[in-house]
């Protein structure tokens, strides 16, 4: 069988074609599916960081496309198509155009990072929802912002994207990016002068069709950075999500989007001051309860307000004053939080274990102090009787 004619290379804007089925056989990896080869196809097979096209052959869904070592392109279909039959091959054009935008934007950004900072793209995948780009240098946020602006200026200048197979003499003279040693004819893409790279993928016709290139995030990765990038309508969708989120947060904080950081810092400072105030009040409450407690008598107190730390302070302070058991309770989390402080030199662990068993609670701790919670609807009178009777 002859190799498949790759119409997606010759005419990347072709969304459909008529072709003849050259072969069709059950998929050896999954007998529910079939593998069909055509004499020519508009379907791009997965490769070079770009996912395959999806679509139909005479209305039969194409679920995956790959190229084998013989340069034959196989379409994985949900039904067989007999050899020799003429079929109408149609790709999902919106999906393809999005992939072409992402792929071309990646070239422009990679070439720009290479030109400006000598950085190499060492990994690339058009994922969902973002394009992943691994860069071998630890570029700073400022350098990335500079490159993003330069790449978008290339987009605005709208130069042509050219793909071709140079003759060996021409290829020998050219300096181009290539992720791996290539055997066989090398296909180059010149991305509007911003990049020259060996590539088998599909690209938009001019840089302007990329629309916009956005670096959404950068993380440290193997001594370099891993970028999440969005181009074209993906970038527009992301901007809409971020703007809606910023506006909703701004409405809650009574500031316009753009002043969220200052508002968040003020909120955190106020929260920190509140925490300090609460801690001081809980200390004062513990002191007051301890001052009022009668020495030698076990104390069981139900309060509203103290957090776990407050309950601990209260139980410890009261037990220290009375020399007897103190149990302090307050609603907290999903239930009724408790703190148990032992009588002088006592051990509350066994009492804590039995209380948990009787009232479906959880928690524990050291000999002198245990902490945990009972269900919110625990019978408080029964809990108090249980503790007073030991």
Binding test (CB under 5 A) with Zn ion, winner from 105, 201, 361, 372: 201
* Cβ proximity to Zn ion, 144 vs 199, nearer residue: 199
Q: How far is the CB of 199 from Zn ion (least distance, A)?
A: 3
* Cβ proximity to Zn ion, 5 vs 177, nearer residue: 177
Report the alpha-carbon distance of residue 383 to residue 327 in Å, rounded.
Answer: 10
Distances in Å between the Cα of 2 and the Cα atoms of 6, 64, 72, 148, 249 are 12, 21, 8, 44, 60
- Cross-strand bridge partners of residue 161: 191
Report the alpha-carbon distance of residue 294 to residue 301 in Å, rounded.
Answer: 13
- What is the bridge-based pairing of β-strands 299-302 and 326-332? parallel
* Cβ proximity to Zn ion, 202 vs 214, nearer residue: 202
Cβ count near 363 (within 10 Å): 17
* Cβ proximity to Zn ion, 105 vs 361, nearer residue: 105
* Cβ proximity to Zn ion, 50 vs 56, nearer residue: 50
Q: How far is the CB of 163 from Zn ion (least distance, A)?
A: 8
Report the alpha-carbon distance of residue 279 to residue 148 in Å, rounded.
Answer: 48
Interface with Zn ion in residues 33-62 (CB under 5 A): none
Q: How far is the CB of 89 from Zn ion (least distance, A)?
A: 22
Q: How far is the CB of 98 from Zn ion (least distance, A)?
A: 15
Q: Which residue stretch of 4-12, 58-66, 194-202, 216-224 sits at the interface with Zn ion (rule: CB under 5 A)?
A: 194-202
- Count of residues that bind Zn ion according to CB under 5 A: 3
* Cβ proximity to Zn ion, 37 vs 189, nearer residue: 189
189, with CB counted inside 10 A (0-12, 13-18, 19+), is buried
* Residue 232 in tokens: 């074209």
* Residue 281 in tokens: 């009040």
Q: Which residue stretch of 76-84, 189-197, 259-267, 327-335 sits at the interface with Zn ion (rule: CB under 5 A)?
A: 189-197
* Cβ proximity to Zn ion, 189 vs 298, nearer residue: 189
Report the alpha-carbon distance of residue 356 to residue 373 in Å, rounded.
Answer: 8
* Residue 270 in tokens: 């106020």
For residue 192, give the nearest of 223, 163, 149, 227 by alpha carbon. Answer: 163
* Cβ proximity to Zn ion, 47 vs 256, nearer residue: 47
Interface with Zn ion in residues 238-267 (CB under 5 A): none
Q: Which residue stretch of 88-96, 184-192, 366-374, 376-384 sits at the interface with Zn ion (rule: CB under 5 A)?
A: 184-192
Q: Which residue stretch of 34-42, 52-60, 201-209, 227-235 sits at the interface with Zn ion (rule: CB under 5 A)?
A: 201-209
- Residue with nearest beta carbon to Zn ion: 199
Binding test (CB under 5 A) with Zn ion, winner from 90, 194, 199, 374: 199
Report the alpha-carbon distance of residue 265 to residue 345 in Å, rounded.
Answer: 46
Q: How far is the CB of 187 from Zn ion (least distance, A)?
A: 9
Contact 73, 45 (CB under 8 A): yes
- Cis peptide, bond prior to residue 237, ω within 30 of zero: no
Q: How far is the CB of 123 from Zn ion (least distance, A)?
A: 14
Contact 132, 228 (CB under 8 A): yes
Q: Which residue stretch of 29-37, 192-200, 233-241, 324-332 sits at the interface with Zn ion (rule: CB under 5 A)?
A: 192-200
Q: Which residues bind Zn ion (CB under 5 A)?
A: 189, 199, 201
């Amino acid at each position: 069988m002859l190799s498949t004619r790759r119409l997606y290379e010759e005419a990347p804007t072709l969304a459909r074609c008529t072709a003849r089925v050259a072969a069709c056989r059950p998929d050896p990896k999954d007998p529910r599916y079939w593998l069909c080869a055509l004499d020519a196809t508009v379907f791009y097979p997965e490769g070079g960081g770009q996912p395959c096209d999806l679509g139909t052959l005479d209305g039969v869904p194409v679920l995956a496309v790959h190229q084998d070592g013989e340069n034959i392109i196989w379409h994985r279909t949900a039904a067989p198509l007999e050899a020799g039959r003429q079929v109408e091959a149609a790709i999902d054009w919106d999906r393809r155009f999005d992939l072409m935008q992402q792929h071309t934007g990646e070239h422009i950004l990679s070439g720009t990072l290479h030109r400006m900072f000598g950085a190499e793209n060492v990994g690339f995948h058009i994922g969902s929802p973002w394009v992943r780009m691994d860069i071998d240098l630890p570029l700073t946020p400022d350098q990335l912002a500079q490159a993003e602006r330069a790449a978008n200026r290339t987009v605005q200048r709208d130069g042509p994207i050219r793909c071709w197979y140079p003759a060996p003499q021409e290829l020998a003279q050219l300096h181009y990016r290539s992720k791996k040693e290539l055997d066989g004819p090398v296909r180059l893409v010149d991305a509007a002068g911003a990049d020259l790279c060996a590539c088998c993928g599909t690209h938009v016709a001019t840089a302007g069709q990329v629309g916009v290139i956005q670096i959404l995030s950068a993380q440290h990765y193997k001594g370099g950075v891993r970028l999440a990038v969005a181009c074209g309508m993906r970038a527009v969708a992301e901007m809409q999500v971020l703007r809606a989120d910023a506006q909703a947060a701004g409405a809650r904080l009574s500031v316009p989007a753009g002043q969220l950081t200052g508002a968040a810092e003020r909120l955190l400072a106020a929260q920190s001051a509140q925490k300090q105030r609460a801690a001081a009040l809980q200390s004062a409450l513990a002191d007051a309860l301890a001052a009022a407690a009668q020495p030698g008598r076990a104390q069981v107190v139900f309060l509203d307000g103290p957090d776990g730390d407050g309950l601990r302070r209260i139980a410890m302070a009261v037990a220290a004053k009375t020399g007897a058991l103190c149990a302090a309770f307050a609603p907290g989390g999903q239930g009724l939080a408790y703190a148990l402080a032992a009588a002088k030199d006592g051990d509350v662990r066994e009492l804590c274990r039995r209380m948990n068993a009787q009232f479906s609670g959880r928690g524990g701790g050291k000999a002198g102090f245990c902490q945990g919670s009972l269900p919110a609807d625990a019978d408080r009178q029964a809990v108090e009787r249980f503790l007073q009777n030991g």
